[in-house]
Amino acid sequence: MKRRPKILLVNDDGAEAPGLWALFGQIATIADPVVVAPAREQSARGHAITVRRDMALEELRHRGRKVGYQLGGTPADCVKLALAHLYRGRISMVISGINWGANVGHNILYSGTVGAALEGAMYGLPAIAVSLRDDLEPPPHFDAAARVARRLAEDILQHGLPAGVILNVNVPNLPLRDMAGTAITRQGQESYIDLFVIRRSADGSRHCANLGGQRLPSRSSEHALDDLELNKRLISITPLHFDLTSHVTVGTLHDRIAHLCLLPGRGKQGGPS
């Protein structure tokens, strides 16, 4: 009998989030899911990790049986602990989500959901981040997004992904029958105007909070951009990688820096490109 692959599930909405358990139910039909999730919500923590500080670790049970752990850390901490220690050498794939709220445009850089998937890729595993758009009519259709994730997971288990690449998947908050299709997209420029409120306490101390402001969508482009395609009720799938190098700039910058004297007394410097 062929052994079923083991898939690590993680999120940034916390171990009790309904999106995580909708995902668990679907992935359980094709693989053995194990969960290592933050004990509390860790939204907008990006790729942050915890060092030199204890993190509480507790068994996580679902419907009466142990399915993994909850950790007092970030999403990336969860992936690190799972792959380096708890399930070392036993995980075939990492799926992060299902996040309640799209992760498109500039928000990708802040996303704990995407950060966890990228951590999986850094360990050499195929990984996807799955998010459900939250600004359409309720209720949240987590099951629809979970079915999308399951189908993608089946394909990736069979065909893999390029080394270091993850898929950032954003799903319209609709039943599957009402979605318009799928688009392979690029990261757009959607962002928010930060809205800070500063308050003074009775003792005279000041506190501030970023409440989030107006959403600024991507400008129209000849390319399919994640937020714009999602607006058309399409499932947006964006390949991402953790190599932040601007490869186009390396050659031109090398020629430019070679003419500068950054180390006095040594003349012009220029290393290999």
Please determine, for residue 254, whether its predicted confidence score (pLDDT) is greater than 90.
Answer: no
pLDDT band at 272 (very low <50, low <70, confident <90, very high): low
- The whole-number pLDDT of residue 87 equals 98
Question: Can you give the pTM of this predicted structure?
Answer: 0.92
Mean pLDDT, residues 238-248: 93
- The whole-number pLDDT of residue 259 equals 79
pLDDT band at 271 (very low <50, low <70, confident <90, very high): low
Q: Domains of the chain by range and CATH?
A: 6-191+220-242 (3.40.1210.10), 247-273 (no CATH)
Q: Is 121 left (phi over 0), alpha (psi -120 to 50) or beta?
A: alpha
Task: Give the Cα separation of 9 and 71 in Å (integer).
Answer: 13
Tell which residue, 152, 159, 158, has the closest CA to residue 236: 152
Strand, coil or helix: what is 108? helix
**168-177: per-residue pLDDT in tens?**
999 999 999 9
The total of other beta-carbon atoms located within 10 Å of residue 189's CB is: 16
Mean pLDDT, residues 45-70: 96
Task: Give the Cα separation of 12 and 198 in Å (integer).
Answer: 27
Strand, coil or helix: what is 22? helix
- The whole-number pLDDT of residue 137 equals 65
- The whole-number pLDDT of residue 116 equals 98
Mean pLDDT of the chain: 93
Task: Give the Cα separation of 131 and 109 in Å (integer).
Answer: 14
| Type of residue at 230 | L
**99-109: per-residue pLDDT in tens?**
999 999 999 99
Which positions ≥6 away from 218 have C-beta within 8 Å? 105, 188, 189, 190, 225, 226, 227, 228
- The whole-number pLDDT of residue 251 equals 82
Task: Give the Cα separation of 187 and 103 in Å (integer).
Answer: 10
Task: Give the Cα separation of 62 and 16 in Å (integer).
Answer: 10
